[in-house]
Structure 1
């Protein structure tokens, strides 16, 4: 089936924009991008012609850090949870996500990995793989993680995780200061896992060693990590120094102060930042109480906090909210926002050869947005999965 979408502001990637253009899709792939003046030549052979009426047409957004949505937590390891997240995020213009897991026992983690490894044919956004946030993290910056299961790395455990996930364990967050972590990072990278630094009390020197070992980025920069202190340079200092590493950012104005977001934007720029939601199961649900990572949490609007301590407990924002708020805080162009919400996450998810950009031969993962980044329609691999 051929679909032609025309009369759109086409944002192809972090650099290319067609102010008024068209995109041709066939058999789940993008065939061509063209200026509006050329679309009529393609219309006769198209099965479906859509007038975008000036809407913004972008690659589908990609959330590489989401724990749940619509009342379902991905830590269940069940297909039903992945299906709920898939449907929910598609309404935000998100076409792909990573199933992010909090810390549990090793035996339980293997069960979860086996369950998620066989999840396919989702109704909305595609699941690119699994992100294990831990278990080799720092108790000093555990945040919501269950301290009982935090420990030094084990190459034997890593191999068991890789085997249980059947090649779908794509991202792991680690604390580089833990004993034996250099070897774990190297082994994880060799196994095809993108290693992120987070939930860590690392010094900037620890971060540098992790970078040399193959670590590729930082999990929710600033949150749950040692900070930038002038006589005690921590993980944040290392993030500013290691310019080859990317950094996730929760740009909701709540997890990180807008002034710090602006400072980070100024120094990191669109090539390094990766917008995420860190959303939990309360996303898309009415305000109320939820259990997340074994803790009693309360959702109010787009914010979630632990009832007992008031600590932030993930978010309830969508990727389109992250994009809109980042644009409002920093004045980013649409191309820069697409770089941070599509191109960069595709790179960390090891899917950059097929997702994250609008170009011939790429998967037909598309989203139509209005100027306020409200999603009007979402296409995943050539199939419309959401229309407003």
Structure 2
């Protein structure tokens, strides 16, 4: 198979793929009509898709995970952290063990899912700060519980989230960092001093900055300013067009500078499903609107995103105003570097995993998505094209 495209630096090339690797790379004359040839997308916060949540994989079969994997690949995603949220601890442990068993048997899946982000359950129980998470399953920070979860998952936990102001939160951070985990602050309402102490103890990320917060907060006494000001924190930004306004994203990028922010999809378990009324595992209802907005009964409380990481590229390029290669980096190479993943280069002998994409009419179109030499698209795919699949209506 041969693919022609423009590299991020503008060079035009023809790439020949043999099996799972790149066989040749030849330079072509400049041609602005070619799509960009880009590294795979990397999503550090992905809760599931198509009616399946990673939390509840203990209730599913391997084929369900393969279905999610192929959905991700179609949208250009080549690395993804499974995100486990607030859920009963016994089910989290069972699901983690199932993940470990399945990934150990499938090298391609194990490459796509290089780790886990544990977002719940050690978050603030306070309304607003806990977002759409179920109050009944929130627990006090307990690193022994995370260690048990990580053991069940075969050591796959890469990032853990905690509310540092809650009992045990700061000590949790120190233990997690000592164990080699990245620590994120999110769904939390600490004062500035606590934020800075959390960073001193090793916290380095902010979970979906600007979200997981009350609709109204004190103009000065809130953690957002400390998150922005502390150079030790990198900000995760949900770029689906609903969670954050473009000006906030732009301000965060300017404040933090290169490498200080990264985009995440926060794709919910019902990402890609038809519009309609659904319910979460604890019985609370939520709605998917025709435009993809996914919200609880209170429309101000979002229930994750309907979209995948390619939508973040589209929003960063078309609404925030970044050049496409720069928008792509925020959704690919920057998050990859955070978790220590090296993405395949466009070079002879490298893994044949890359994406051909362009902007057209204010939308991102993925023209082809190749993973380990396999092309996943029969026609170009837009970020908002619906994927109608059967699913029970319980998230």
Instruction: Choose from 141, 144, 159 the match for 2:147.
Output: 159
Counterpart position of 2:40: 60
Encode CA deviations 1:91-133: one digit per residue, 9 max, x unaligned: 2111221111221122221111111122333679811222111
Task: Give the deviation of 1:153 after TM superposition.
Answer: 1.6
Give the direction of change, closer, same or farther, for the CA distance of 1:361–1:135 in structure 2 (3 Å limit).
Answer: farther
Q: Is the 8 A contact 1:279 1:316 kept in 2?
A: yes
Q: Distance in 1 between matches of 2:348 and 2:256?
A: 29
Residue 116 of structure 2 corresponds to residue 150 of structure 1: no
Which structure 2 segments of 5+ residues have no match? 380-395
Q: Distance in 1 between matches of 2:115 and 2:109?
A: 16
Q: Is the 8 A contact 1:265 1:330 kept in 2?
A: no
Counterpart position of 1:175: 163
Task: Give the deviation of 1:154 after TM superposition.
Answer: 1.6
Q: Which structure 2 residues correspond to residues 178-193 of structure 1 after superposition, within 5 A? A: 178-193=166-181
**Aligned positions, number:** 365
Instruction: Choose from 201, 204, 207 the match for 1:219.
Output: 207
Which secondary structure state, in structure 2, belongs to the residue aligned with residue 313 of structure 1? coil
Residue 32 of structure 2 corresponds to residue 21 of structure 1: no
Task: Give the deviation of 1:306 after TM superposition.
Answer: 1.1
Counterpart position of 1:42: none
Instruction: Choose from 337, 342, 347 the match for 2:327.
Output: 337
Q: Is the 8 A contact 1:124 1:380 kept in 2?
A: no
Which secondary structure state, in structure 1, belongs to the residue aligned with residue 7 of structure 2? strand
Instruction: Choose from 99, 103, 115 the match for 2:82.
Output: 99
Of 304-313 and 197-206, the range deviating more from structure 2: 304-313
Residue 93 of structure 2 corresponds to residue 110 of structure 1: yes
Which secondary structure state, in structure 1, belongs to the residue aligned with residue 359 of structure 2? coil
Task: Give the deviation of 1:33 after TM superposition.
Answer: 5.7
Instruction: Choose from 84, 94, 98 the match for 2:67.
Output: 84
Give the direction of change, closer, same or farther, for the CA distance of 1:303–1:246 in structure 2 (3 Å limit).
Answer: same
Q: Is the 8 A contact 1:114 1:164 kept in 2?
A: yes
Q: Distance in 2 between matches of 1:241 and 1:32?
A: 46
Give the RMSD, CA atoms, in angstroms: 2.8
Structure with more strand by fraction: 1
Residue 112 of structure 2 corresponds to residue 132 of structure 1: no
Which secondary structure state, in structure 1, belongs to the residue aligned with residue 121 of structure 2? coil
TM-score norm. by structure 1 comes to: 0.85
Which secondary structure state, in structure 2, belongs to the residue aligned with residue 161 of structure 1? helix
Counterpart position of 1:41: none
